[in-house]
Amino acid sequence: MNKRFTPKATKQDIQFEKINVKALQNLIGVTFKDIRLIKQAFTHSSYVNEHRKKPYADNERLEFLGDAVLELAVSRFLYTTYPKMSEGELTKLRAAIVCEPALYQFAKDLSFHKFILLGKGEELTGGRQRPSLLADVFEAFIGALFLDQNLDVVVNFLEKYVFTKVNKGAFSHTMDFKSQLQEIVQSKGYGTIDYKITSEKGPAHDREFISSVYLDGNKIGQGIGRSKKEAEQEAAQKALVNLEKKQSL
């Protein structure tokens, strides 16, 4: 009796099944046309080095591309979003957004660490949680997304997972919106700026402050933060946006 022939899965196929591509795509809300790209983005060089006889490709070239794409997308976002910001301020803010700690946090928030293919040694030494490694994976993913789709899709992804954090003041420590607001108000002769903490809530270790900024007694912005300073910076940021809208009318 002839046995039915069933194609054997290669070791490469079996190893790649460790990356739950379906779960990953559901997580990010993007379906890749070329699955090999998303797999490559999550394949670390340590894994490739342990499988030298197999045609694995690590994510280092994608990381190179992703770095450039990320810088372009962030630059365009900042240029459009903050028309009053100087070149030096834009450069400083961009550097904060694309630096290793920030990219690590973006990757961590998206649970990218769960999908990386690592060599045994790298796994045992905590590579899956290493900030530099996760930051590289985030850049590699951006490179893969750009190649598979286009820049607009990359921007849509960043708007959902990165730019919203910027708009909410996650990088307010690198920007001095209060000084920007004060300069505009003084140069235009608008009046006097005043900040008030209008609400405090939460336990001491997890406090939340709400600050409002007033121009000659009229409220022009409100912000929320883990500290009074953070709340005031966000309030000033919102006030700048509101003043910009008012001037454009």
User: Which residues participate in catalysis according to the annotation?
Assistant: 67, 139
Quote the distance between the C-alpha of residue 236 and its chain's center: 23
Helices 151-158, 60-81: axis angle to 10 degrees equals 70
Residue of 184, 213, 186, 188 whose CA lies nearest to 84: 184
Cα 171 from Cα 66, distance rounded (Å): 21
The Cα 148–Cα 32 span in angstroms is: 6
Compute the distance between CA of residue 218 and CA of residue 202 in angstroms, rounded to an integer. 28
CA 153, CA 32: separation in Å to the nearest integer? 11
What does the radius of gyration of the chain's CA atoms come to, in whole angstroms? 23
Q: What share of the chain is helix, strand, coil (3-state, %, to 5)?
A: 60, 10, 25
Q: How far apart, in whole angstroms, are the C-alpha atoms of residue 70 and residue 60?
A: 15
